[in-house]
Structure 1
Amino acid sequence: MLKVALITPAGRGSRAGNRATATRWAGLLRELGCRVQLVAPDEDFRQPHQANSPPDLVIALHAWRSHAAILASRQVLPQCPLIVVLTGTDVYRFQHSHPAVFLDSLEQASALIGLHTAIADDIPSRFHTQLHTVLQSALPLPPGAPRPGRRHFNILVAGHLREEKDSLRTALAVRDLPSDSRLRVVQLGRAYSVEWANAAHEEMACNPRYQWNGDQPHWRVRQWMARARLMVISSRMEGGANVVSEACVAGLPVIASDISGNRGLLGDDYPGYFPVADTEALRRRLLRAERDPAFVAALRERVVARATAFRPEAERDALARVIAACGLNCRERLAQ
């Protein structure tokens, strides 16, 4: 049985995207016949493997946050293949603010994983031969899921409140709309700071079209996806947001900021983009969606067409291909 150490910077119980990815991948790798152990970056990497059973493969989520664990794995297990997974903050923030650490993690890797198809354009070309794409998957909404109501045209924003997400952009876009507009914004996610929490509360106090419901379990997020008519992804940077996969599989139309991380999931010719941080452009897109059913239908048609790329078996098979590129074959072990 192939033994995998999966390093994730998000601890047990976290609803951060890195933890969701690690948990889902652990399940997919087990389907492939692997034995998986989740490891935090600040753990003594040697400790879980002292009993003469070192891992056959190390996978590290986040090149910057997991850098110490990446170095430790190379010191303790120099012959063990190492896969480094590139996140949005890795590529679009820490590559520029902490280039030595970011590049060192990539240099240590046997293979790299990007979570959207355009990420090769955003890393040095010398790493392209090591780069593989694994698109994050999602499950369909369950039968009998809630349906959108008629009173409001609900827009969902799902993601923790922080700078990278430009989290209040959609709320700003629905201020001072015509009185007959039915647009309402429901935002789900934990505030990453007191300042973000205060900003959300202040926005609710002055903007009757905005509601922040805080951190929610995944099943509640899926309920809101079923109730919404549209989702907005307003991020300034993304490494390949799983919420985009979720929306596509749910058939929920998306309005997205025009960034590589969204284009690498929805395609260059997707008709629902708006310029980053452009409140007026986003407002125009939202009003058009409310008033033009054909526009919403066109967006829905496109996300539904993309949904097949986000099936769990596609993600599992992509992981198997990366493992094979490292000289390991989990499927043979599964057959045994």
Structure 2
Amino acid sequence: MQIVVVTPAGPDSKAGNRATALRWKALLETAGHQVNVLTAYQGETCDLMIALHAWRSAEAVRQFREDWPDKPLIVVLTGTDIYRFQYECPEPTRASMAAADVLIGLHDQVAQDIPEAFRSKLITLRQSAEKPTVAGSSKAEPGRFDVCVIGHLREEKDSLRAAWATHYLPEESEIMVSCAGKAHNEAWHNKALEESRANPRFHYLEQLDKPALEHLMAVSRLMVISSVMEGGANVVSEACRAGLPILASDIPGNRGLLGDDYPGYFPPKDEKALAQLMRRAETDPGFLAELNERVCRLADTFTPEQERQSLEQALEKAVAGKMLV
């Protein structure tokens, strides 16, 4: 098929939506489809559209459905769609959900958080990650317990929570937190730089390229994901594929990927609880080994082949739905 993928993130963006669109383009082209990635829809002819983000792509969804009422449409629900915009901007967000033939959710608990009327459209897709080329653990520096935070710095990610948690560590702790990611705005950039200057346990590395990110993960003993809302963070996939233990905020987007019984959760925005878990991981080899075993067990659910199969399932469901109308 000729497929259009619409993402609000531009060609130079390293945002998750852009990375997802380009990864899906490659996976779908491997399966024989022709894929065009756009930031705005202007009536381009295609057999099917995939719109990333129900709210941000609402105009593209509306225009496509108006131009091509009989063609299949897939809408991907992001974390801000599910946990913010369907409440703050319900009309365009739910209009996109209603217009879609298939909704893609990126973690296992999305169905609990969208209107019941749309649940029959939902397919769960776990975003994939390649297995890293740099091996972990052996690269770890002696005398340090490195913790990484990876992702754009913004409110939804609560990006400095791990940095603030280090203030509650005992003096003898060897924990060092490194944060890599582009700041959403100048305020976040300044906050990260100020914390980095004032906090000897924290380093803000700004935006890194892929080899540098792989190196950061390889030297780290632990990853912290402190988000207050997530649609299904791809960094979870990357950590699991790298065998890197995770401490995660206790929110649906993390539970929907790691499982309800994952032992590494802490309450959102609670740096004291996070500090206690970080210290436990540093001092309790059994706890760290358990986290490692759990992420390694999940690694095979985040493979490119699994993601491609989920995409094909979504395409088949969308096409079949139109044939039945």
Name the TM-score, length of structure 1 as normaliser.
Answer: 0.93
Tell me the secondary structure at the aligned position of residue 191 of structure 2. Answer: helix
Q: Is the 8 A contact 2:166 2:275 kept in 1?
A: yes
1:135 maps to which residue?
Answer: 126
Letter in 1 for 2:27: L
2:100 maps to which residue?
Answer: 109
1:331 maps to which residue?
Answer: none
Of the three residues 100, 117, 121, the one matched with 1:126 is 117
Aligned length: 320
> Counterparts of 2:317 and 2:146 in 1: how far apart (Å)?
44
- 2:83 equivalent to 1:84: no
- After TM superposition, list the pairs within 5 Å mapping 1:247-326 onto structure 2: 247-326=239-318
> Counterparts of 1:110 and 1:160 in 2: how far apart (Å)?
31
How far apart are 1:143 and its partner, in Å? Answer: 5.2
Q: Is the 8 A contact 2:134 2:214 kept in 1?
A: no
Q: Is the 8 A contact 2:244 2:292 kept in 1?
A: yes
CA deviation map 1:206-257 (0-9, x unaligned): 2100000101122221211111000000000000000000000000000000
Tell me the secondary structure at the aligned position of residue 148 of structure 1. Answer: coil
Tell me the secondary structure at the aligned position of residue 60 of structure 2. Answer: helix
Letter in 2 for 1:37: N
Letter in 1 for 2:258: L
1:11 maps to which residue?
Answer: 10
2:29 maps to which residue?
Answer: 30
Letter in 1 for 2:268: V
- 2:243 equivalent to 1:244: no
Of the three residues 49, 54, 77, the one matched with 1:58 is 49
1:70 maps to which residue?
Answer: 61
How far apart are 1:150 and its partner, in Å? Answer: 1.3
- After TM superposition, list the pairs within 5 Å mapping 1:180-195 onto structure 2: 180-195=172-187
Assess, with a 3 A threshold, how the Cα gap between structure 1 residues 166 and 143 changes in structure 2: closer, same or farther.
closer
> Counterparts of 1:83 and 1:130 in 2: how far apart (Å)?
9
CA deviation map 1:27-80 (0-9, x unaligned): 000011100001113x5x22xx3xxxx211100000000000001111112211
Of the three residues 217, 223, 229, the one matched with 1:231 is 223
> Counterparts of 2:18 and 2:70 in 1: how far apart (Å)?
27
CA deviation map 1:182-217 (0-9, x unaligned): 000000001111111111111112210000010112
How far apart are 1:323 and its partner, in Å? Answer: 0.6
> Counterparts of 2:209 and 2:86 in 1: how far apart (Å)?
31
Tell me the secondary structure at the aligned position of residue 6 of structure 1. Answer: strand
> Counterparts of 2:111 and 2:140 in 1: how far apart (Å)?
38
RMSD: 1.3
Tell me the secondary structure at the aligned position of residue 92 of structure 1. Answer: helix
> Counterparts of 2:274 and 2:169 in 1: how far apart (Å)?
13
CA deviation map 1:122-179 (0-9, x unaligned): 0001111000001000111115567111121000000111100011100000015322
> Counterparts of 1:267 and 1:89 in 2: how far apart (Å)?
21
Unaligned 5+ segments in structure 1 are 329-336
Of the three residues 199, 210, 213, the one matched with 1:221 is 213
Q: Is the 8 A contact 2:3 2:49 kept in 1?
A: yes
Q: Is the 8 A contact 2:168 2:272 kept in 1?
A: no
> Counterparts of 1:90 and 1:148 in 2: how far apart (Å)?
38
Letter in 1 for 2:275: R
> Counterparts of 1:219 and 1:134 in 2: how far apart (Å)?
26
Letter in 2 for 1:22: A
- 2:86 equivalent to 1:95: yes
Which runs of at least 4 in structure 1 moved beyond 6 Å after TM superposition? none
Q: Percent identity?
A: 49
Assess, with a 3 A threshold, how the Cα gap between structure 1 residues 230 and 144 changes in structure 2: closer, same or farther.
closer
Name the TM-score, length of structure 2 as normaliser.
Answer: 0.96
Letter in 2 for 1:168: L
Letter in 2 for 1:31: T
> Counterparts of 2:20 and 2:110 in 1: how far apart (Å)?
18
Letter in 2 for 1:32: A
